[in-house]
Amino acid sequence: MMLLKHGVATDTGNVRPQNEDAYVASDHLFAVADGMGGHNAGEVASALATSLLLERAVGQILTPEWFVDAITSINRTIHESAAESTERRGMGTTICALALVQPQGETSEPQQVALANVGDSRIYLARSGKFRQLSVDHSYVQELVTEGLITEEEARIHPRRNIVTRALGIDDRVAVDSWLVPLFAGDRFILCSDGLVDEVPTSDIAELATQHREPQIIADALVALAKRNGGRDNITVVVVDAVGNSAPPIESEPIVETPKKRTKQGIIGVGIALAIVLSLVAIGRNARSGYFLTFENASQNSSVCIDRGASNHVLWFAPTRELCTDLQRSDLSTVHRQRVSEHLRFSSFIDAQRHVEALKEISALND
């Protein structure tokens, strides 16, 4: 059983009079919310989002589907609260969240975490020395980046970088991005508000995040760096480390070297042949493991399908089609189309089916 260890740091920054960020940091559930709106409305919205999320998690099995249901319900509550008060009208909040998924019964699959986000608060992952952003910003500048009109670095300093295209509380319905990620010992997740990413380049965040130091030290260091770089907004950082015995996946096959000595060539030859066979067996097993989403064809009405195996051919191992669903490319937003095109992967067929169902729910909310 994997355990999660965390550190949290939050600060008003150098300019804002109050902190409209809020966060959740429990043993199994973590979130960051960045409020917006006049007076104290942003503070109210983010506090509602985080407190209600924690409240709804009690006694529940936390999954991507649970995230979608909980966050859409929280969105309605914030929207209704805003409508009841003139001072709170137009209030809203972003949210990004992570939950430890409890394994059901006996399974050999790696443990997983469920992730969710609405808005431009971010989730990063540092694994085996590599660092990448998992969430996709729902913002004006992210749309420009997706269209290839500006670079990610230009987006960080763009004058309209704070315009979000999706947030809780603004409308009575909201689409929630939610998905599963396998969890391995040594994984480090970083959840943060845009007060960090607007001030600190991704390369600098990665440099700190990949250091082998306690999560609280990393959280404090990231907030301090954002303040040194300007601190023009509230800054909140939650660092979550996975602690356990499950090693991360090996990203490349071991190289089999031919021994330099020619003595006992028969025994050496058998050893090499055995190593090659074992390597091919391992490659074949990896090539047939896991599932991914893809489109049936290039048409606009193409179905979303679930394939098994590697998304690209590995030697003679080709992926096999397990199911084509009634969800179509035209039903999806630009972000979700991109994710399907990038062959979003899952450890089991059931998880892939659940994600398709979540996409259907998101699509229905947008109709």
* 94: its two tokens: 């972003």
Q: Which helix (H) or strand (E) holds 340?
A: helix 334-341
Domains and CATH numbers, the chain: 3-243 (3.60.40.10), 291-366 (no CATH)
- Mean of the pLDDT values across residues 252-269? 38
**pLDDT-wise least confident of 84-93, 107-116, 144-153, 245-254:** 245-254
Q: Write b or e for each residue in 113-147: b if 16 or more Cβ atoms lie within 10 A of its Cβ, otherwise e.
A: bbbbbbbbbbbbbbbeeebebbbbbbbbbbbbbee
Average pLDDT, the chain: 84
Cα–Cα distance, 338 to 333 (Å, whole number): 9
Cα–Cα distance, 12 to 164 (Å, whole number): 20
Residue 245 has pLDDT above 80, yes or no: no
User: DSSP string of 156-178?
Assistant: HT-TTTT-BS--BTSSS----EE
* 104: its two tokens: 């059901």
- Mean of the pLDDT values across residues 72-100? 92
* 350: its two tokens: 């059931």
Q: Which residues contact 75 (CB under 8 A, 6 or more apart)?
A: 118, 168, 169, 171, 172, 173, 174
Name the one residue in this structure whose structure tokens are 């089609």.
321
Q: pLDDT, tens digit, for every residue of 183-221?
A: 999 999 999 999 999 999 999 999 999 999 999 999 999
pLDDT of residue 343: 82
Residue 9 has pLDDT above 50, yes or no: yes
| pTM for the full predicted model | 0.67
pLDDT of residue 311: 66
φ/ψ of residue 365, rounded to 5: -65, -30
Q: Which residues contact 167 (CB under 8 A, 6 or more apart)?
A: 36, 92, 93, 94, 118, 119, 138, 174
Query: 30 has which bridge partners?
Result: 25, 98
pLDDT of residue 261: 36
- pLDDT band for 242, please (50, 70, 90 cuts): very high
- pLDDT band for 252, please (50, 70, 90 cuts): very low
- Mean of the pLDDT values across residues 136-163? 87
Cα–Cα distance, 73 to 57 (Å, whole number): 13
